[in-house]
Amino acid sequence: MVYVDEFPKTAKLVRGQFLVAFGALAIGALFGVIQALHRTGVFRGFVSSADYYTLLTGHGVLLALVFTTFFIAGLFGWAVSNSLDRELSQRLAWGGFWTMLVGTVLAAVAIIGGLIGAPSILGHSLKADVLFTFYAPMKAHPAFYVGAALIIVGSWVAGASYFKSLWEWRSENPGERIPLRTFMVVTTMLMWYISTIGVAVEVVAFLIPWSLGLIQNVDPLLTRTLFWYFGHPVVYFWLMPAYLVWYTILPKLAGGRLFSDPLARVVFVLFLLLSTPVGFHHQYVDPGIPEGFKFIAMTNTMFLLLPSLLTAFTVVASMEHGARQRGGKGYLSWLRDLPWGNPAFAGCALAGLMFAAGGFSGMINAGMNINYLIHNTLWVPGHFHLTVGTAFALTAMAISYWLVPQLTGKQLQRRSLALAQPYVWFIGMTLMSNAMHRAGLAGIPRRTAEPTYDEFAFEGVAGTVGEMRLQIAIGGFLLFVGAALFLIVMAETFLARRGGTLSVNSTIPEPLSGPEHSPRILDNYKLWTAIALVLIVIAYGPPLASMIADGITAPGSPPIPV
Amino acid sequence: MQVHNFEKIWLGVALLLIVGFIATIAYGSVGAGISMVDDSGGTISAQAVQSGETGTGFDDPGVVKQSDDHYVVYVVAQQFQFRPGSGDNPIRVPADARITFMVTSPDVVHGFSITETNINTMVIPGQVAEVSARFDEPGTYGLVCHEYCGAGHHTMGGSIEVVAPSNYTAQQQAVDGEVSA
């Protein structure tokens, strides 16, 4: 039986979440290609350099917040309902959906206002050119902050529907091990609840009243620190769903089974413990924070490599197992026997491969001293276009080729376009991100519309600046083509008639080493949450205390319109 | 719990790698003396920087000679210029001396990064960033604001002229003109 017939209510919800996510992807990708062409100087006719930052804000918010959060909500809804064999609580799940959607519309309207001349709405000019990080004291329209807050709150409500399902399932199945996919969803959501507290306090307690004029000043370092308390865990909120796919679905697509269920649980628990107390590594070069606190965060950050390194092992081992089931032989020649002609598999495998490269550049970012060379250069977007922009985004697109037919009961349309898409994305990202990394080493900054200056010129360390620009432009264009191919396939699949046989189903084979081999303590969420909170208090308690010792809004800054 | 032998080896190697990274960084800060930007610059009122009434070197930003081997450079980073640094007012310092940059902002968050070096700090209103360095070679280095600071962010550059010590005139380098925000 197909998922849509088994769980028609949840399937409808997931379809809604995916449609919003794909809409955000469409607009975000369009903004992205305009930026790539503008800042490389290939074509500058779309926007002025001042309006570039409006597009940059839209690109960041729509892709890194809206696309990810809606897609994850959908994926998690599928994973929980399917692995617990029950529909989600409709009231909670839809409540979360509508809250997130209202938030998205508010934030999007505030951003787009900047492109249409920033009319005055409710006494504030309607614009939000403050980028994804919205560092105070740059001020956006209050609707932007309210919208961002609603997106977060909506995701909390959606998360509550997963917990409710788990409680119901536990009361009916006492003593049974939590199914792996639900375990992963719940661990991820616990991490998300803990880490979003920072941004919620920042926005609700400080930025909303400040942007409305109810309080005069905010402390820029304090709000920035609260942002990064959330700002690094959020990347694990993107990554862990990709890991869920790589652990539970990818082995099946490869023709085999997951290598180890217990290790998968260990990896997710490590993320819950270590994801939040690392945010200071984004503030290595911030004044006002003692070196010792930065060193503690650096140590945590380095240990956070461990779950990703373990994942690399498991994913490769599971793929090898799959290839050998399909007749693969030899040390490396089994790679040929993987189903490279299946777009869902190819996308996930290529995403995993690029994530390995992104992981290595992330280790450079995490290195407290070499970080000085690349902080806020083009290296950084080069890095996160490999992680969120490929490990997450390409996995999301690839697994949609597998999930959407089950959510709609319709066959995947335009299979050949779907198959070309992951490869187009891979080539585009290879060009764009390698050039961005090298441009970063040459000192070219990120987040700028015109990377040339009157006072001096940049020189490439390897290759010329002109050649890097060309690669970024071609890469960015190919990524836009990749997104467009995906959206065409999705649109036609959603609009197709039902009928014919689906070549996919939601059944996940048993792992080689099952949950019975894992210690029960892994399912003890109370314990892990408590340890996670203690680690956060150690990492954040003293620096936050010193920042608010001189008063919670001092040294204070009034809002500065941009 | 069942852990495969290959998995155990991988786990060990991964831990070794992580501990190795931490060790190299600890060595960098203790052995090689790479110090971090920290809270040594203290806090300051952004509004006072804006009006030039801090009672510090930021009221008249420029190069201040402390000794033959140590110069302090006060820089105000603001929308959309470095004072001094931008346009035809480069920061001039001698080679081979210890140069301490004190940087702050009267308005929004900026960046202060000198190309071809690892001098790189955020500039946050209310905080003073303090970074020390020694330039071995004379020449012109680029100065970049690397944090988006408003619609003119891309025009916020500058330069550092590092002069051979024998050619350096040791008077204070003052900035002409007032705040032009």
- Arithmetic mean of pLDDT over chain A: 95
- pLDDT at residue A503, rounded to an integer: 83
**Quick check: A553 contacting B, CB < 8 Å?**
no
Q: What order do you get walking across the sheet with B157-163 strand by strand?
A: B91-94, B157-163, B139-144, B110-114, B120-123
More confident residue, B35 or B88: B88
Cα diameter, chain A: 71
Stretch 111-170 of chain B: residues touching chain A, C-beta under 8 Å: 111, 113, 115-116, 118-130, 140-155, 157-159
Q: Both B75 and B105 in a single domain?
A: yes
Q: Which residue of A269, A369, A377, A517 is the best one to mutate when testing the B interface, meaning the one whose CB has the most B CBs within 10 A?
A: A369
- pLDDT at residue B170, rounded to an integer: 53
Q: Both B59 and B85 in a single domain?
A: yes
Tens of pLDDT, residues A522-540 = 999 999 999 999 999 999 9
Q: What is the pTM of this model?
A: 0.95
The predicted model gives A326-342 an average pLDDT of: 94
Contact by Cβ (8 Å): A242, A347: no
Q: Is the pLDDT of residue B171 over 60?
A: no
The predicted model gives A408-435 an average pLDDT of: 97
Q: Which residue of A127, A371, A446, A557 is the best one to mutate when testing the B interface, meaning the one whose CB has the most B CBs within 10 A?
A: A557
Q: Both B102 and B46 in a single domain?
A: yes
Residues of chain A contacting B152 with CB distance shorter than 8 Å: 50
Q: What is the ipTM of this complex?
A: 0.93
- pLDDT at residue B175, rounded to an integer: 46
- pLDDT at residue B181, rounded to an integer: 34
B18: closest chain A residue by CA: A302
Q: Is the pLDDT of residue A287 over 90?
A: yes
Q: Is the pLDDT of residue A369 over 80?
A: yes
Query: What is the nearest CA distance from B167 to chain A, expressed in angstroms?
Result: 22
Q: Both B102 and B175 in a single domain?
A: yes
Distances (CA, A) of B114 to A282, A443, B160: 19, 8, 8
Contact by Cβ (8 Å): A57, B151: no
- pLDDT at residue A461, rounded to an integer: 80
Query: Would you call A373 and B120 a contact, using CB atoms and an 8 Å cutoff?
Result: yes
**Quick check: A220 contacting B, CB < 8 Å?**
yes
Confidence of residue B10 (pLDDT cuts 50, 70, 90): very high
B152: closest chain A residue by CA: A50
Distances (CA, A) of A407 to A22, A393, A483: 15, 19, 21
Q: Both B69 and B115 in a single domain?
A: yes
| Helix/strand/coil for A560 | strand
Query: Would you call B28 and A375 a contact, using CB atoms and an 8 Å cutoff?
Result: no
Q: Tell me, what CATH number does B146's domain have?
A: 2.60.40.420
More confident residue, A153 or B175: A153
Contact by Cβ (8 Å): A423, A346: yes
Q: Which residue of A224, A285, A360, A521 is the best one to mutate when testing the B interface, meaning the one whose CB has the most B CBs within 10 A?
A: A285
Facing A288 at nearest CB: one of B21, B39, B115: B39
Query: What is the helix (H) or strand (E) element at residue A150, kind and residue range?
Result: helix A142-172
Q: Both B18 and B107 in a single domain?
A: no
Structure tokens at A233: 């865990």
Query: Would you call B122 and A305 a contact, using CB atoms and an 8 Å cutoff?
Result: no
Smallest CA-to-CA distance from A259 within A335, A187, A319, A336 is with A319
Q: Both B18 and B86 in a single domain?
A: no
- pLDDT at residue B176, rounded to an integer: 44
> How many domains does one find in chain B?
2
| Helix/strand/coil for B60 | coil
Structure tokens at B117: 């070096």
- pLDDT at residue B28, rounded to an integer: 87
Query: Would you call A288 and B7 a contact, using CB atoms and an 8 Å cutoff?
Result: no
Please state the φ and ψ torsions of residue A244, each to the nearest 5 degrees: -55, -45
Contact by Cβ (8 Å): A31, A58: yes
Q: Both B56 and B24 in a single domain?
A: no
Structure tokens at A453: 């200056």
Stretch 49-78 of chain B: residues touching chain A, C-beta under 8 Å: none
Q: Is the pLDDT of residue A507 over 80?
A: yes
Specify burial of residue A49 (Cβ count, 10 A radius: 0-12, 13-18, 19+).
middle
Distance between CA atoms of B57 and B46, rounded to whole angstroms? Answer: 14
Classify each residue of A85-105 as buried b or exposed e, where b means 16 or more C-beta atoms within 10 Å of its C-beta. ebbbbeebbbbbbebbbebbe
Query: What is the nearest CA distance from A87 to chain B, expressed in angstroms?
Result: 32
Query: Would you call A287 and B122 a contact, using CB atoms and an 8 Å cutoff?
Result: yes
Query: Would you call B14 and A306 a contact, using CB atoms and an 8 Å cutoff?
Result: yes
- pLDDT at residue B18, rounded to an integer: 95
The number of beta carbons lying within 10 Å of the beta carbon of residue A537 is 12
Query: Would you call B144 and A262 a contact, using CB atoms and an 8 Å cutoff?
Result: no
Q: Both B22 and B65 in a single domain?
A: no
**Quick check: A372 contacting B, CB < 8 Å?**
yes
Q: Is the pLDDT of residue A191 over 90?
A: yes
Tens of pLDDT, residues B49-105 = 999 999 999 999 999 999 989 999 999 999 999 999 999 999 999 999 999 999 999
Smallest CA-to-CA distance from A105 within A69, A66, A71 is with A66
Catalytic (active site) residue A517: no
More confident residue, A562 or A268: A268
The predicted model gives A267-276 an average pLDDT of: 96
Query: What is the nearest CA distance from A299 to chain B, expressed in angstroms?
Result: 7
Q: Both B168 and B148 in a single domain?
A: yes
The fraction of chain B above a pLDDT of 90, given in percent, is 79
Expressed as residue numbers, the domain containing B3 is 1-34
Distances (CA, A) of B146 to A235, A447, B153, B156: 22, 7, 9, 9
Facing A443 at nearest CB: one of B15, B22, B115: B115
The predicted model gives A212-230 an average pLDDT of: 96
Q: Both B133 and B49 in a single domain?
A: yes
Tens of pLDDT, residues A118-164 = 889 888 999 999 999 999 999 999 999 999 999 999 999 999 999 99
Distance between CA atoms of A543 and A550, rounded to whole angstroms? Answer: 12
Query: What is the nearest CA distance from A473 to chain B, expressed in angstroms?
Result: 19
Query: Would you call B126 and A376 a contact, using CB atoms and an 8 Å cutoff?
Result: no
Q: Both B95 and B118 in a single domain?
A: yes
Distances (CA, A) of B38 to A127, A206, A376, B91, B111: 34, 25, 18, 23, 15
Query: What is the nearest CA distance from B165 to chain A, expressed in angstroms?
Result: 22
Q: Is the pLDDT of residue A303 over 70?
A: yes
**Quick check: A252 contacting B, CB < 8 Å?**
no
